[in-house]
Amino acid sequence: MNRKKKLNSIFDKRIKRMNAKKNTASKPKYISKAERARIEALEQNNESQNTVVTEQ
Protein backbone atom coordinates (compact mmCIF):
# COMPACT_ATOMS: atom_id res chain seq x y z
CA MET A 1 0.00 0.00 0.00
CA ASN A 2 2.86 2.40 0.73
CA ARG A 3 4.29 2.00 -2.76
CA LYS A 4 0.90 2.72 -4.33
CA LYS A 5 0.37 5.74 -2.09
CA LYS A 6 3.80 7.13 -2.94
CA LEU A 7 3.24 6.73 -6.68
CA ASN A 8 -0.15 8.41 -6.42
CA SER A 9 1.29 11.32 -4.45
CA ILE A 10 4.05 11.79 -7.04
CA PHE A 11 1.46 11.68 -9.82
CA ASP A 12 -0.76 14.20 -7.99
CA LYS A 13 2.17 16.58 -7.49
CA ARG A 14 3.03 16.33 -11.17
CA ILE A 15 -0.57 17.13 -12.16
CA LYS A 16 -0.65 20.13 -9.80
CA ARG A 17 2.55 21.50 -11.32
CA MET A 18 1.22 21.07 -14.86
CA ASN A 19 -2.03 22.84 -13.96
CA ALA A 20 -0.13 25.66 -12.25
CA LYS A 21 1.93 26.26 -15.39
CA LYS A 22 -1.17 26.12 -17.57
CA ASN A 23 -3.07 28.68 -15.49
CA THR A 24 -0.81 31.69 -15.61
CA ALA A 25 -1.44 34.67 -13.39
CA SER A 26 -4.40 36.78 -14.40
CA LYS A 27 -3.16 39.92 -12.71
CA PRO A 28 -1.47 42.56 -14.88
CA LYS A 29 2.29 42.79 -15.20
CA TYR A 30 3.96 45.02 -12.58
CA ILE A 31 4.84 48.53 -13.75
CA SER A 32 7.19 50.54 -11.56
CA LYS A 33 6.23 53.92 -10.16
CA ALA A 34 8.79 55.70 -12.35
CA GLU A 35 7.49 53.93 -15.45
CA ARG A 36 3.89 54.87 -14.61
CA ALA A 37 4.94 58.52 -14.17
CA ARG A 38 6.75 58.48 -17.52
CA ILE A 39 3.73 56.98 -19.30
CA GLU A 40 1.41 59.52 -17.69
CA ALA A 41 3.69 62.37 -18.77
CA LEU A 42 3.71 61.07 -22.35
CA GLU A 43 -0.08 60.83 -22.37
CA GLN A 44 -0.44 64.37 -21.05
CA ASN A 45 2.02 65.59 -23.68
CA ASN A 46 0.02 63.86 -26.43
CA GLU A 47 -3.24 65.34 -25.14
CA SER A 48 -1.77 68.84 -25.08
CA GLN A 49 -0.48 68.42 -28.65
CA ASN A 50 -3.90 67.20 -29.78
CA THR A 51 -5.62 70.24 -28.30
CA VAL A 52 -3.13 72.59 -29.98
CA VAL A 53 -3.68 70.89 -33.35
CA THR A 54 -7.47 71.05 -33.05
CA GLU A 55 -7.40 74.74 -32.05
CA GLN A 56 -5.48 75.75 -35.18
Domain count, the chain: 1
Q: What is the pTM of this model?
A: 0.44
Residue 53 lies in a domain: yes
Residue 45 lies in a domain: yes
More confident residue, 22 or 52: 22
Q: What is the pLDDT of residues 34-54, one digit of tens each?
A: 999 999 999 998 888 877 666
Residue 20 lies in a domain: no
Residue 10 lies in a domain: no
Largest CA distance in the chain: 84
Residue 13 lies in a domain: no
Residue 43 lies in a domain: yes
Range of the domain at 47: 32-56
Residue 44 lies in a domain: yes
